[in-house]
Structure 1
Amino acid sequence: MKKVIMAVLLLLGVACAGAGYYIFYYKPQQDALALEQAQAQEEPVVPLVILEDEPEPPPPPPQTDYYVNPDKLGVREAPNYDAFIESVVYRGDKLHILEKKDGWGRISAYFVYEEGGPEVAEWVPMEALLEVPPTITKKERMTTLSEYIEDSDDFKQHFEMFISTTDQLIKDGTCTPLDFEETKGWIRSVTFSEQEAYFVYCGGLKQANKIYLNIRTGKIFYR
């Protein structure tokens, strides 16, 4: 009986020793190893990058170039509709605005007509201007050109030649609409017997400003 009890006590001692070894030695080592492995697998902490505030972009420059919208627009010597009309600009003309004042745009430098007199300049109403060139259809262009030269000699007979030549001379800068309005369009020439010609003055009323058109060939020539 004593041998049995001693065997049981021996087994209990071995079991307690094994449990103590597991609890106080083996398990702490395993836990420490598992913690090291977990820490090694964690991604490194990336420090936050503090971005400085970007400066605001500068405002766009003010618009200075505009385009005439009406078919014809009076240029006045002061920024009001009662002022004298100095000249005329036409639809699609590009204007450079030097100053804006009370809804008007100044397109010329200041000048004085007489000593001691007031300064004047050329002004146009801003409400009549566009920021982009107007879209002008072929029909609108023909109507506008017709108004410039509708008093030409034999206008109906040579309508197409007058229109195309007038358009060409205005587009290349040789003539302005005002040139045609001042002469009431194309005038029949009696100078040439060998060809049927018409003329208009562009840029002045001297012989050097006289432009001839051979109505049969469409050729432009000077004397």
Structure 2
Amino acid sequence: MKKVLMVVLLLVGIALAGGGYYMFYLKPSQDAQQEEQEPEPAAKPVQTEPIPVPEPVPEKTDYYVSPEKLGVREAPNYDAFIESVHYRGDKLHVLEKRDGWGRISPYYVYKENGPEVAEWVPMEALLEVPPTITKQQRIETISKYIEGSDDFKQYFDVFIKTTDDLIKEGICIPLDFEELNGWVRSVTYKEEDVYFVYCGGYKQANKIYLNVQTGKIFYR
């Protein structure tokens, strides 16, 4: 019986020794080999927000005349001939900028093999926003267009209002009044206080009459 017990203890000892060998030596060795064989998972790419690309700022092309009167020249320099004029607040579309000047018309060739010419204005005389014009400033500006009118002081108010209305409505331009120095007394209507101005030409159809008593304009 004693021998049997010793055999049982020996077997138990062998079993414990085998289990310890497996747990503390063989299994760690197998796990290490498995880790070496298994490839590491690939790192996930980091998602980043796309960098916004700013939109290009469109070049400014629309401007407004700042001085009361601006000469339009046929070349980009102050020695060039003045072809026409623009007035304070007029909106101009600039097609090209060169050396401080802005081209506001296409190029023209007036004779065969002649030079190209266009209309130019100095950029320093232009504003990016419409100028603020007070009522008094507007009156002063209109006065300069028609200060040579017959009986100007007597009918100042009606001359100013009618002239301003005709310009705002696009019927006349300031140059129409400047060419006649303002409103001219009509000799046709001798019994009425009627004055006239030509707008857009010198035909009868371009002749605008003003009855200063009623403030009404009419045509013949």
Same topology, TM > 0.5: yes
Q: Secondary structure at the match of 1:112?
A: coil
Q: Secondary structure at the match of 2:84?
A: strand
Alignment pair present for 1:105 and 2:102: yes
Q: Which residue among 185, 188, 192 is the counterpart of 1:191?
A: 188
Q: For residues 116 and 209 of structure 2, what CA distance do their matches in structure 1 show?
A: 41
Q: For residues 59 and 95 of structure 1, what CA distance do their matches in structure 2 show?
A: 23
Shift of 1:53: 2.2
Q: For residues 73 and 219 of structure 1, what CA distance do their matches in structure 2 show?
A: 31
Q: For residues 46 and 164 of structure 2, what CA distance do their matches in structure 1 show?
A: 65
Q: Which residue among 199, 215, 218 is the counterpart of 2:215?
A: 218
- CA deviations 1:139-197 (Å, max 9, x no partner) are 11000110000000000000000000000000010000000000110000011245321
- TM-score, normalized by length of structure 2? 0.78
Q: For residues 106 and 178 of structure 2, what CA distance do their matches in structure 1 show?
A: 27
Q: Which residue among 45, 61, 66 is the counterpart of 1:64?
A: 61
Q: Which residue among 101, 121, 131 is the counterpart of 1:124?
A: 121
Q: Secondary structure at the match of 1:175?
A: coil
Counterpart residue number, 2:18: none
Q: Which residue among 170, 175, 181 is the counterpart of 1:173?
A: 170
Residue ranges of structure 2 left out of the alignment (5+ in a row): 1-43
- CA deviations 1:58-90 (Å, max 9, x no partner) are 112111000000000000000000000000000
- CA deviations 1:37-60 (Å, max 9, x no partner) are xxxxxxxxxx99733323312112
What letter matches 1:65 in structure 2? Answer: D
Q: For residues 48 and 221 of structure 1, what CA distance do their matches in structure 2 show?
A: 81
Counterpart residue number, 2:147: 150
Counterpart residue number, 2:8: none
| Greater CA drift, 66-75 or 51-60 | 51-60
Report the count of equivalent residues. Answer: 177
Q: For residues 118 and 109 of structure 1, what CA distance do their matches in structure 2 show?
A: 13
Alignment pair present for 1:200 and 2:197: yes
Q: Which residue among 82, 86, 108 is the counterpart of 1:85?
A: 82
Q: For residues 55 and 122 of structure 1, what CA distance do their matches in structure 2 show?
A: 41
Shift of 1:136: 0.5
Instruction: Tell me how large the CA RMSD over aligned residues is.
Output: 1.4
**In percent, how many aligned pairs have the same letter?**
74
Residue ranges of structure 1 left out of the alignment (5+ in a row): 1-46
Q: For residues 62 and 138 of structure 2, what CA distance do their matches in structure 1 show?
A: 22
Poorly superposed stretches of 4+, deviation over 6 Å: none
What letter matches 2:164 in structure 1? Answer: D
Q: For residues 147 and 46 of structure 2, what CA distance do their matches in structure 1 show?
A: 74
Q: For residues 108 and 119 of structure 1, what CA distance do their matches in structure 2 show?
A: 12
Q: Secondary structure at the match of 1:120?
A: coil
Alignment pair present for 1:163 and 2:160: yes
- CA deviations 1:110-162 (Å, max 9, x no partner) are 00111111000000000000000000011110001100000000000000000
- Aligned pairs for 1:33-52 (under 5 A) are 50-52=47-49
